[in-house]
Amino acid sequence: MKHILITGKNSYIGTSLEKWLLREPDTYKVDTIDMKDGSWKERCFSQYEAVFHVAGVAHIKETNENQDLYYKVNRDLAYETAQKAKRNGVMQFIFLSSMSVYGVQNGVINKETPLHPDTAYGKSKIEAEELINTLQDEFFTVATLRPPMVYGKGCRGNYPKLAELALKTPIFPDFDNKRSMIYIDNLSEFVKQIIDSKSGGTFFPQNDEYTNPSEMVRLIAEFHGKKVVMTKLFNPALKLLNVRTLNKVFGDLIYDMNMSEYMSDYRVCGFKESIKRSED
């Protein structure tokens, strides 16, 4: 029986992993804790083989007033949690970081791409990574995950915005671009395999094919019995506009697929099926 602690009660990714692991109740026991107050500091972690730290600040608009919150939660809290896990004898600490640590808005990220975050979110994540990695030794393994956009039923972020648009708009740009994304069940399976193998290092899980957001909108609309006319008429204008929000939809942003291939296949759900499950 593997006893796992997830820090970040009611988080989308944490809750999804808990459900995924508990499909095998004879193999995994899962606890979750709320990190919003200091009560977690009084709890002993010694019973856990692994801690999956997902608590963090995300999906809120960054302002000058809230930047300190990113560092306080995404960096300082994460490091403090990792320190406690090590003191209490936990063997593995899994930290949920982000593709944002690269600061890349368009293009291909490979293993030589430098880390150059341009947001408080990305900066706080890479600083947390650096601090947590100093704790690693032969008795304490650190696994860092840098997934691209995570989507699935009930998720937050850009996917529900696209889904809402798919149900409202009669027309959408037929734009041929590629985005790295990962469906929540694929991510949960990946974390499960990391726990089982007790692996450490930095990991870049993603779906086994790149996503075209225009195709995603079409499939979402189709699932709900709605037809969206796809047109290339807007494409020249979209190519000329350099707007961050548009780039998140119509720009290319991918991990080199070679970065995401591991010994065991964690892609339990293909793209079309993932849209069906997300919208069902």
Note the pLDDT of residue 245.
Answer: 57
The list of the chain residues with pLDDT below 50 reads none
Q: Residue for token digits 């500091």?
A: 41
Torsional class of 89: left (φ above 0), alpha (ψ -120 to 50), beta (otherwise): left
Q: Show the domains of the chain with their CATH numbers.
A: 2-149+182-206 (3.40.50.720)
Closest CA to 6 of 272, 210, 195: 195
DSSP one-letter string for 44-58:
--TT-SEEEE-----
Nearest to residue 124, comparing CAs of 96, 158, 156, 157? 96
Looking at residue 61, what is its pLDDT?
79
Report CA dihedral (98, 104, 108, 109) to the nearest 10 degrees: -40
pLDDT digits (tens, 9 = 90+) for 41-65: 999 999 999 999 999 988 777 888 8
Q: Are 87 and 52 in contact (CB under 8 A)?
A: no
Q: pLDDT at position 240, please?
A: 60
Contact 177, 251 (CB under 8 A): yes
Give residue-wise pLDDT tens across range 189-246. Answer: 999 999 999 999 999 999 999 999 999 999 999 999 999 999 888 677 666 655 555 5
Which pLDDT value is given to residue 237? 66
Helix axes 271-279, 213-223, angle to 10 degrees: 50
Of 269, 279, 276, the closest CA to residue 209 belongs to 269
Cα distance between residue 86 and residue 36, in whole Å: 21
Separation between Cα atoms, residue 38 and residue 34, nearest integer Å: 9
User: Chain-wide mean pLDDT for the chain?
Assistant: 93
pLDDT at 157: 87
Q: CA torsion, points 110, 54, 275, 217, in degrees to nearest 10?
A: -70
The pLDDT of residue 225 is 95
Q: What is the pLDDT of residue 248?
A: 66
pLDDT of residue 246: 58
